Amino acid sequence: MVEINLNRRQFLKLTGAAAATLAVVELGFNEKEVHASTKEFKIAKSTVTPTICCYCGVGCGILVHTKDDTVVYTEGDPDNPINEGKLCSKGTTLRQLYTSEKRLTKPLYRAPGSDKWEEKSWDWMYDTIAKRVKETRDKTFVHKEDGMIVNKTETIASLGGAALDNEETYLLAKLMRGLGVTYIEHQARI
Amino acid sequence: MATEYVKYVDVTKCDGCRACMVACKNWNDLPAEPQDFLGTMQSHANVTADTWNVLTFVEHENSKGNLDYLFRHSSCFHCTDAACEKVCPENAISYTDKGMVVVDQDTCVGCGYCVQNCPFDVIQLKNYKDENGKEYRKAHKCTMCTDRLDEGLQPACVTTCHTGAMEFGEKDDIIRKAEKRVNEIKERYPNAMVYNPQGVGGTHTIYVLAEKPSVYGLPENPKVPTSAVLWKDYAQPIGKAMVGGVAMALAGAFVANKFFDKKNGGHEEDGGGNRE
């Protein structure tokens, strides 16, 4: 057994040192807390932009969180009276419209009879579409049927999508009626 | 503990749209896990390390001989007395101030004890490879979006649920609500009950089930394994106390030793050694 001979000052120093040791060993750092506070909240500094879901005719409101030129999160817009912050499984995946590797970034063209897609520029696409619509319409336009003026083009059909907003569908319908198209349909009937 | 919060799941309001599954992946940035067709509407057989909640579809013949198509949002129950927390040798699993059970990914060593002991089978391991090609594993499960809770938001699955089958709130309120709801649906579902098993001290995901738990593949009375209790509440603290005792003795000896050396050199000047 070691005999410990201490005066008061030494005793105080010793207890102080022991307390300090304890403090460092037991209480000083909570590693978990330090780690937790350094990890930033996912949507802390994101820019929030409201949009409308493009998938069906319901037209749910969605908030898009963007940060560093990419979409970090999308969620139902709680202020939107249509969905009140809720979304279905499809609308919830909206982020992938932008982030998916399978996303098309250039228009693809498949020639009649071909089995290959080829990349084309937007200008080429617009020109070709306009040219062919004009060609088809002029070739098959029916002015009179059974003595009645009908002014219709039955060889063209139009299928709208839910991604179109109110104004776009108005313009689309107007253009199609102008061409004499009678088959005008919309995907968002569901 | 601050106020306890729980997730409320009323399966009778669920329409099986699976938005909760997608919302979970969306918030937690979890990759998709394409699966083969399982012969039912169910997309995944069970919860996995990358799919923290799964919507289960059960075809059940009820007491009247009719078909009941039962849906259930299945994810971690966040037990008050969690077996995973008990068995974790690294203390990587802990409780948050709101009562949620979370895994610290930095501390987890992937031993898999939690996976073996979870009464609900909702925690799973994921394989990783480090830059040297060495494989290691980590346990993953639902966190109840603890990061969202800390910012005052609700869990992602709850916010997206369009039928109101899921809610998030204070524990007492939710239990009252669940009991009220069970009374409302008793006529249609005579076996309806609140699932908040006491064998694990109650859970932080409280269900209103339309049928007996066994119909949903849930244990009727889940328990924390006795071996786990012995390990965590007795063996581990005693072992730690011993390690701590040794550490303190070493530290004490080191400090005392320093003083002895000093005393040998400077005892005379200090003076008044044993005055009292």
ipTM, two decimals, is 0.77
Size of interface A-B (CB pairs under 8 A): 84
Selection from A179, A181, A121 nearest residue A157 by Cα: A181
Q: Which of A26, A41, A82, A89 to mutate to test the interface with B (most CBs of B within 10 A)?
A: A89
> Are residues B216 and B85 part of one domain?
yes
Q: Do residues B262 and B153 both lie within one domain?
A: no
Of B106, B156, B255, the CB nearest to A35: B106
pLDDT tens, B52-89? 999 999 999 988 889 999 999 999 999 999 999 999 99
The answer to whether residues B43 and B54 touch, using CB atoms and an 8 Å cutoff, is yes
What was the pLDDT predicted at A16? Answer: 67
Look at residue B264 and tell me whether its pLDDT is greater than 60. Answer: no
Residues of B in contact with A93 (CB under 8 A): 22, 26
- B271: in domain: no
- In this structure, are B56 and B153 located in the same domain? yes
Per-residue pLDDT for A70 more than 70? yes
Judgement on whether residues B112 and B219 belong to the same structural domain of the protein: yes
Helix (H, G, I), strand (E, B) or coil at B251: helix
The CA distances from residue B86 to A77, A88, B79, B203, in Å, are 40, 37, 11, 15
Mean pLDDT of A13-36: 58
Are B117 and B189 found together in one domain? Answer: yes
Sign of torsion over alpha carbons B63, B64, B67, B72: negative
Domains belonging to chain A, first-starting first, are: 8-38 (no CATH), 47-99 (2.20.25.90), 108-189 (no CATH)
Same domain, B198 and B176: yes
Q: What is the pLDDT of residue B233?
A: 76
Question: What is the total count of domains within chain B?
Answer: 2
Q: Is the pTM of this model over 0.90?
A: no
Length of chain A equals 190
**Mutate which of A92, A97, A98 to disrupt the B interface (most B C-beta within 10 Å)?**
A92
Asked whether residue B15 carries a pLDDT value surpassing 90, the answer given is yes
Choose between B258 and A138: higher pLDDT. A138
Of residues B110 and B257, the one with the higher pLDDT is B110
pLDDT the model gives residue A15: 67
Q: Do B159 and A86 touch (CB under 8 A)?
A: yes
CATH number, position B151: 3.30.70.20
Burial B9-47 (b: 16+ CB within 10 A, else e): bbbbbbebbbbbbbbbbbbbebeeeeeeeeeeebbbeeb
Could you read off the pLDDT of A97-137 as tens digits, one per residue? 899 998 988 999 999 999 999 999 999 999 999 999 999 99
Confidence at residue B110, expressed as pLDDT on a 0 to 100 scale: 93
- Phi/psi for A169 (5° steps) reads -65, -35
For residues B176 and B101, membership in a common domain is answered with yes
Q: Is A102 touching B (CB cutoff 8 A)? A: no
Judgement on whether residues B26 and B124 belong to the same structural domain of the protein: yes
Which domain, by its residues, includes B185? 5-224
B207 shares its domain with B250: no
Over residues A139-148, mean pLDDT: 95
Nearest partner of B54 among B68, B29, B35, judged by Cα: B35
Max Cα distance, chain B (Å): 98
In tens, the pLDDT along B214-237 reads 999 999 988 887 877 777 777 777
